Structure 1
Amino acid sequence: MLKATLRSFLAHKGRLLLSALAVVLSVAFVAGSLIFSDTVTRTFDRLFASTSADVTVQPRNDLDSQIPTGATATVPASLAERLAKVDGVAATHVDAAVENATVVDSENESVGPTTGAPTIVTNWEVTERSAVELTSGREPKGGGEALLDADTAKKKHVSIGDTLTVQAQPGSFPVRIVGIATFTTTNPGAALVFLDTPTAQTKLLGSAESATSISVDAAPGVSDAQLKQRITTELGANPYDLQTSEEQAKSAAAQLGGFLDVIKYVMLGFAGIAVLVGVFLIVNTFSMLIAQRTRELGLLRALGADRRQVRRSVLTEALLLGLVGSTVGLAAGIGLALGLIKLMTAFGMNLKSTEMVLGWATPVSSYAVGVGVTFVAAYLPARRAAGVSPMAALADAEVAGVGRPLRIRAVVGAIVGAVGVAALAGCAASSTTSTAASLLGLGVVLTLIATVIAGPLLVRPVIRVLGGAFPALFGSVGRMSQRNALRNPRRTGATAAALMVGLALVGGMSVASASMTKSFDQQIDKTLGADFVIQNSNFVPFSQELTDEVRGTEGIGLVVRLRLATLAVRLPDGERIETAAAAYDPRLDDVAQVTYAQGNSAAALGDGRIGMDAKFAKEHEVRVGSTIPVEFPAGRKTELTVGALTDQGAAEGFGMRGGLFFGFGTVEKYLPNGQDSVLYVNAAPGTSADQLRSNLEKALEPYPQVQVLDQADYKDLIHDQIAVLLYLVYALLGLAIVIAVLGVVNTLALSVVERTREIGLLRAIGLARRQLRRMIRLESVVIAVFGAVLGLALGMVWGVCVQQVLALQGMKAFAVPWATIIAVVVGSAVVGIVAALLPALRASRMNVLAAIAHE
């Protein structure tokens, strides 16, 4: 049996090739994501471990929120002298580094990275742990000199002697580049500007008495843990956070982990789609191969092979397919990881391909995925193969069971579908976001499974409608193509399911994104009353200097500032919530149309007052007049009285849970030295909007990081951010379509082999080659469109439920992107035509007499 199995596998290797490609794709994405993330993790672990001080003393922050406020937390610089006297301390260094500065060249172009990495302006303090070394020029001396890292200098064409402008929180100042520093280890992609320490303290932090942290080096023979304990004893009860080199490295790696997780989960998402769609392809392939080998299997049974041996033979073929696909996929995954490393290098993160990490988990995961998928997918066809009777050797019949009734599928599909529909209905009726989201996830999974199970039941009614016009348009060729698609509902359903999965995802996310876009548009139309909004595209704060520049612009009538603050609130129901709040100038109502359920802006923006979303307040037993304990960074605590409740409802959609807001007096008292995130601007009487825009753009030329946006521009900005998610979904769709095309090609190719004698007879009685090719193309088109219709219908149901979840966050508008839906259906027809090209060409080239004689 083993010899027969190996010969069978080699005999059908061409037919198994497309199934193997699905395995290769899924394994490649799994292996590539693991190799890339392991490589980046190890690279940065080495960087952080080699550059962190033995002990770092920095400001304590008990809040985990990452919302940028622009405020720089500091410690007293005099702490360095005090710690230098601690037993076991070899040296201390003052650190003065900020990431909220912008650096521009003489053309007012930013020299910072465009990849999202920060621009770091820091003091030049060289130690044996430094990540950079001076490679040309000299060290900076005095307030007008600076160093620049070599990578940024090369990319931005900056040379020694050039002048840059640093826009820091206290104000802007020019520096002349007097040297170039080169990384001795991995460049994380940031742009680095180095100043001498006194200049960094005064120009970046606003005081020569401040530092962002104190680095402490241990004397020989003193461990990091011992040194940390001694410093803790010296400082006693203190507001500082102490971290050893190892703890500092872990903390930095954890922050980097968010970036790595995005890449890893995106790639694993691609792998998941490849696996899911590949399962349908493999099931279809093995089912058709077994149907074509009915006589062969019957002969094996007649010669003495029992059911278990036949089943084992088919599963062994699947195992071989999985091993080959996994091996090729692992190699492709290494290539994919190498490509990602090169891509990151092009974006400024200088990873070395020679340091690629191939851990034991990568090949284990790769083979587990590849072999597991093929083994599971081939199990049902293998069971059918085991059921072939020895009498099948005497007849030209398909495998027993292929034409059996679909009653079991109908029952199982109905039960699973009913539970899935109930979950989606519960999602639509739920009044809490967490419950609705959980029911949505359950409903999506169950309805997808139910549709796959019941798909063959829908083949005949749906394809009769979709192909109803074929006989009238294409005559007998059209009638035969429709009947071919109806001949085996299981096969047609499995082939279409591969395309259905991707299109269901696209349909659902398209409806969700269109609804989000419409909701934000309505919210902007409803609430934004300012002529212009000035902000960064990524919402990063800017300096007071820029705010002053806007206020001094000709034609300005009113400027209302928005500043963000991180905080924690203790609510009456006992829950402690960390979130972000917005602080506004008193004349908020002149630039925004806020709807209040209770109170007004004056009551919310006054000293000691706070406003919040009415729904959030009701959930947590808060009323107007309630006193809420509030904790700001650096341990600053106070109590604020609820002065107003709003009916806006969409605040949480912006990542600000509870829609908390208060006046500028509060934020400046408890979060000093913060920076403005948004300016709402109205024109003065007699100044047109166009004229004010021109004046603002001219005044803000030195500040390339900010944008001047009117209402239409602001909508476009929101649309672009939503589109990023949609582009990812389209990429997943592209992968699903590639594998679905493989599935249609495989099905048609095997179907052509299966119908060789039939095709020969058709050709013998007068069917032209062109008519034969058209028949196969029409069959492919109707199968692809069937999958598209099924997927889009399911996806739109999901989209409606996603919109209900969004409505709980205040995004209540509903929209269906009909243009996208129609384009997808038309595209599916094109996919069907493309997938049929090779099978149709092969069928038309058959020798008529050989085809008629085919067994």
Structure 2
Amino acid sequence: MLKATLRSFLAHKGRLALSALAVILSVAFVAGSLIFSDTVTRTFDRLFASTAADVTVQPEQDLRSTRLSGSVQTLPAALRDRVAKVDGVAAARAEVSVQNAVVVDRHHRSVGPTTGAPTLTMAWYVTHRSPVKLTSGHAPHGAGEVLLDADTAGRRGVRIGDTLTVQAQPGTLRVRVVGIATFTTTNPGAALVFLDPAVAGRELLGSSAKATSISVDAAAGVSDAELKHRIGAAIGSGAYDLKTAGERAKSAAAGLGRFLDVIKYVMLGFAGVALLVGVFLIVNTFTMLIAQRTRELGLLRALGADRRQVRRSVLTEAFLLGLAGSTLGLAAGTGLAFGLVRLLSTFGMNLKATEMVIGWATPVTAYAVGLGVTFVAAYLPARRAAAVSPMAALADAEVAGSGKPLTVRAITGAVIGTAGAAALAGCAAATSTGRAASLLGAGVVLTLIATVVAGPLLVRPVIRVLGGAFPALFGPVGRMSQRNALRNPRRTGATAAALMVGLALVGGMSVASASMSASFDRQIDENLGADFIVQNANFTPFTRQVKDGVARTRGVGLVVAQRLTPVAVRLPDGDRVRTTAAAYGAGLDDVVHITYVQGGSPAALADGRVAVDADFARDHGLRVGSVLPVEFPGGRHTGLTVSALTDQDVAEGFGTEGGLYFGLATLAKYAPDAQDSALYVNAAPGTGPADLRPRLERALEPYPQVQVRDQADYKELVHSQIAVLLYLVYALLGLAIVIAVLGVVNTLALSVVERTREIGLLRAIGLGRRQLRRMIRLESVVIAVFGAVLGLGLGLVWGVCMQRVLALRGLTALAIPWGTIVAVVIGSAVVGVVAALLPALRASRMNVLAAIAHE
């Protein structure tokens, strides 16, 4: 049996190649993601381990404020002297390092990275742990000199002697580049700008008495953990955040892990699609191969092979297919990881491709995925093969199952589909986002399974409609193509299911993204009253000099600044909720249209007052006049009086909850270092927006981090953010289509082999080569369009339910992109034509007499 199995596998290796390709793609994405993440993690572990101080003292980090507010949490620089006196401390340094400064060249272009990595502006210290070393020029002295890292200098064309401008929170500083420092470790992609330690605190933090951290080196024989304990006892560990080198490396690795997770999950998403679609392809391949080997299997049974041996023979073929596919997929995954590493290098993250990490878990996972998917997909065909009776050796029969009633499928599909429909209905009726999302996930999975199970039941009614015009348009050839698609509903359903999965995904996400865009457009039209918004591209804060530049511009009337800050509020019901609050200047109602349930903007912006979303207030027992305990970054506490209730969250999109906003005067008391995140600008009377815009753009040329946008630009920005998600979905769709095309090609190719005698007879009675090719193309088209109709129909239902979840977050508009849906249906027909090219060509080249004599 083993020898027969090996011969059978080698005899059909060409027909199994397309199925192997599906395994290769899925394994490649899984292995590539693991190798890439392991390589990056190992590289950065080395970086963190080699550069982290033995103990680092930082401000308490309960409310992190840098990203949204732009403020920097600090500690007293004099704390360094107290730490230095602790027994076991060999050296202590007061560090100054910020990420909220912008550095521009004389052409007003940012010298920072364009990849999202930060620009780190810091004090210049040279220790054995420094990630860079001075390679040309000299160290900075005084307020007018800086060092720049070599990668940034080379990327931006900056040389020693060039003049730069540092826009920091305290003010603007013009500096001259006096030296270049080269990385001695992996460059994580950041831009590094170094100032003289004597002036760094004053220029970056506003005071030489402030520092961002204290770095401590342990004396010989003192462990990091012991030194941390001693320092905590000396300065009070509750007031500061103390971390050993290992803890800091672990914390940094956790942050890196969140970045890597994005890449990993994207690649695993591709792998999942490849696996899911590949299962249908492998099932179809083995089912048809077994059907064509009915006589061979029957002869084996007649010669004494039992059912277990036949089943084991088919599963062995699946094992060989999975083994070959997994091996090639692992190699392809290594190449994919290499390409990702090289891609990061082009963005400034200089990883060494020669140090790629392939841990033991990677090949184990790769072979588990490849072998697992082929075993799962081949199990049912193997069972059917084992059911072949010895009498089949004497008859021209197919494997049992192709003509069996679909009663079991109908009942199973109906039960699962009913449960899925109930879950989706519950999602549409839910009133909480969490419950709606959970029901949506369950409904999507159940309805997808139900459609796959019941797909063959839909073949005859749907394809009769889709191919109804074929007889009139193409005559007997059209009628035969339609009947061929109807001949085996199970096979047609499985082939179409591969395409259906991808199109259901793209249909649902297209509806969701179109609804999000329409909802944001409606919100912008209804809520935004300003002529222009000055804002950073990634919504991060900017220095206050920007507001000064805007205010000095001729023709500017009202300027209202928005600042964001993380806060923690203690609610009457005892909950402590961390959220983001917004602060505004006077004139808010002239630039943002807010609907008030009680109170109004003047009351909310008064010192010591706060506005709250009405739903949030109702849920937590707040009303106008309630005192809301609020904690700001740095441990500052106060009680703010609720003076207005609104029906919307004015800072929605920044992780807010409760719609809290108050005046700039209140924020200045408790978070004085917060920076502007947006400026709402109205033109002065007598000045039109068209005249004001070019003036604003000229005034803001020295500040490349911000852009001037009107309502149309703001909508375009939102659309571009949503499009990123949609592009990912389209990429997944592309992969699904590639594998689905392989599935259709495989099915048609095997079907041509199965119908060799039939094709020979048709040719003998007058069917031309061109007519034969047309018949196979039409069969392919109707199968592809059938898959598209099922997928898009399912996707539309999912998309509508997704929109109901979004509606609970305020995105109430429902939009269906009919243009995209029509384009996808037309594209599916094209996919069908392309998939049929090779099988049709092969069929048309058959020798007529040989085909008639085919067994």
Shorter-chain TM-score range:
over 0.9
Q: By how many angstroms is 1:599 displaced?
A: 1.8
Contact 1:67 1:580 (C-alpha < 8 Å) held by counterparts: no
SS in 1 for 2:225: helix
Query: Residue deviations 1:101-149, cap 9 Å, x none?
Result: 1111111111110100001111110100000001111111111111111
Residue 516 (1) aligns with residue 516 (2): yes
- Give matches, 1:120-135, under 5 Å: 120-135=120-135
Residue 394 (1) aligns with residue 397 (2): no
CA distance 1:67–1:616, change in 2 (3 Å):
farther
SS in 2 for 1:57: strand
Question: What is the aligned residue count?
Answer: 855
SS in 2 for 1:447: helix
> How far apart in 2 are the matches of 1:618 and 1:775?
66
* Residue equivalent to 1:579: 579
> How far apart in 2 are the matches of 1:113 and 1:226?
39
Q: Give the partner amino acid of 1:555.
A: G
* Residue equivalent to 2:428: 428
Contact 1:650 1:811 (C-alpha < 8 Å) held by counterparts: no
* Residue equivalent to 1:680: 680
Q: By how many angstroms is 1:655 displaced?
A: 2.4
SS in 2 for 1:682: strand
SS in 2 for 1:659: coil
* Residue equivalent to 1:800: 800
Higher deviation after alignment, 89-98 or 497-506: 89-98
Q: By how many angstroms is 1:666 displaced?
A: 1.8
> How far apart in 2 are the matches of 1:136 and 1:382?
70
Q: By how many angstroms is 1:627 displaced?
A: 2.2
* Residue equivalent to 1:530: 530
Q: RMSD in angstroms over aligned alpha carbons?
A: 1.1
- Give matches, 1:455-534, under 5 Å: 455-534=455-534
Contact 1:649 1:809 (C-alpha < 8 Å) held by counterparts: no
> How far apart in 2 are the matches of 1:241 and 1:539?
28
Residue 377 (1) aligns with residue 383 (2): no
Q: By how many angstroms is 1:650 displaced?
A: 7.9
> How far apart in 2 are the matches of 1:459 and 1:653?
45
> How far apart in 1 are the matches of 2:362 and 2:373?
16
- Give matches, 1:398-413, under 5 Å: 398-413=398-413
* Residue equivalent to 2:742: 742
Q: Give the partner amino acid of 2:684.
A: A
Query: Residue deviations 1:150-176, cap 9 Å, x none?
Result: 111111111111111111111111111
* Residue equivalent to 2:636: 636
Q: By how many angstroms is 1:672 displaced?
A: 1.4
CA distance 1:653–1:181, change in 2 (3 Å):
closer
> How far apart in 2 are the matches of 1:221 and 1:788?
70
SS in 2 for 1:677: strand
Percent identical residues: 76
* Residue equivalent to 2:42: 42
Q: Give the partner amino acid of 1:477.
A: V
> How far apart in 2 are the matches of 1:441 and 1:225?
45
CA distance 1:653–1:437, change in 2 (3 Å):
farther
Q: By how many angstroms is 1:646 displaced?
A: 1.3
Residue 827 (1) aligns with residue 839 (2): no
Residue 96 (1) aligns with residue 96 (2): yes
> How far apart in 1 are the matches of 2:728 and 2:260?
16
Q: Give the partner amino acid of 1:729.
A: V
* Residue equivalent to 1:227: 227
> How far apart in 2 are the matches of 1:780 and 1:571?
63
SS in 2 for 1:701: coil
Residue 777 (1) aligns with residue 814 (2): no
Contact 1:608 1:666 (C-alpha < 8 Å) held by counterparts: yes
> How far apart in 1 are the matches of 2:523 and 2:687?
27
CA distance 1:383–1:447, change in 2 (3 Å):
same
Q: By how many angstroms is 1:29 displaced?
A: 0.3
- Give matches, 1:332-731, under 5 Å: 332-648=332-648, 652-731=652-731
Higher deviation after alignment, 446-455 or 576-585: 576-585
SS in 1 for 2:304: coil
CA distance 1:260–1:736, change in 2 (3 Å):
same
SS in 2 for 1:825: helix
> How far apart in 2 are the matches of 1:66 and 1:146?
23
* Residue equivalent to 1:754: 754
Query: Residue deviations 1:781-814, cap 9 Å, x none?
Result: 1101110110000000000000000000010000
Contact 1:534 1:709 (C-alpha < 8 Å) held by counterparts: yes
Contact 1:239 1:634 (C-alpha < 8 Å) held by counterparts: no
> How far apart in 2 are the matches of 1:85 and 1:549?
47
Residue 189 (1) aligns with residue 189 (2): yes
Query: Residue deviations 1:560-591, cap 9 Å, x none?
Result: 00000001112223322211111111210011
Q: Name structure 2 gaps, 5 residues minimum.
A: none
Contact 1:95 1:211 (C-alpha < 8 Å) held by counterparts: yes
Query: Residue deviations 1:363-400, cap 9 Å, x none?
Result: 11111110000000111111111111110001111111
> How far apart in 1 are the matches of 2:797 and 2:626?
42
Q: Give the partner amino acid of 2:543.
A: S
* Residue equivalent to 1:266: 266
Contact 1:611 1:660 (C-alpha < 8 Å) held by counterparts: yes
Q: Give the partner amino acid of 2:239.
A: P
> How far apart in 2 are the matches of 1:652 and 1:426?
26
> How far apart in 2 are the matches of 1:247 and 1:666?
36
> How far apart in 1 are the matches of 2:587 and 2:624?
21
Contact 2:67 2:540 (C-alpha < 8 Å) held by counterparts: no
Q: Give the partner amino acid of 1:572.
A: P
CA distance 1:423–1:64, change in 2 (3 Å):
farther
Structure 1 length normalisation: TM-score? 0.99
SS in 2 for 1:657: coil
SS in 2 for 1:830: helix
Q: Which runs of 4+ in 1 moved over 3 A?
A: 64-67, 649-654
CA distance 1:315–1:448, change in 2 (3 Å):
same
Contact 2:64 2:633 (C-alpha < 8 Å) held by counterparts: no
> How far apart in 2 are the matches of 1:27 and 1:390?
38
Q: Give the partner amino acid of 2:420.
A: G
> How far apart in 1 are the matches of 2:617 and 2:310?
66
Q: Name structure 1 gaps, 5 residues minimum.
A: none
Contact 2:65 2:565 (C-alpha < 8 Å) held by counterparts: no
Q: By how many angstroms is 1:651 displaced?
A: 5.3
CA distance 1:380–1:187, change in 2 (3 Å):
same
SS in 1 for 2:634: helix
SS in 2 for 1:425: helix
Q: By how many angstroms is 1:602 displaced?
A: 2.0
Query: Residue deviations 1:685-708, cap 9 Å, x none?
Result: 111111111110010001111000
Q: Give the partner amino acid of 2:746.
A: N
Query: Residue deviations 1:87-112, cap 9 Å, x none?
Result: 11111112111101111111111111
- Give matches, 1:79-158, under 5 Å: 79-158=79-158
Query: Residue deviations 1:522-560, cap 9 Å, x none?
Result: 000001000000000101101111111111111110000
SS in 2 for 1:451: helix
* Residue equivalent to 1:301: 301
Residue 160 (1) aligns with residue 160 (2): yes
Structure 2 length normalisation: TM-score? 0.99
> How far apart in 1 are the matches of 2:642 and 2:758?
81
Q: Give the partner amino acid of 2:819.
A: A
Q: Give the partner amino acid of 1:231.
A: I
Q: By how many angstroms is 1:222 displaced?
A: 1.0
> How far apart in 2 are the matches of 1:417 and 1:619?
36
Higher deviation after alignment, 411-420 or 769-778: 769-778
* Residue equivalent to 1:236: 236
Q: By how many angstroms is 1:622 displaced?
A: 2.5
Q: By how many angstroms is 1:777 displaced?
A: 0.7
> How far apart in 1 are the matches of 2:29 and 2:634?
43
Contact 1:512 1:803 (C-alpha < 8 Å) held by counterparts: yes
Q: By how many angstroms is 1:649 displaced?
A: 5.7
> How far apart in 1 are the matches of 2:649 and 2:172?
39
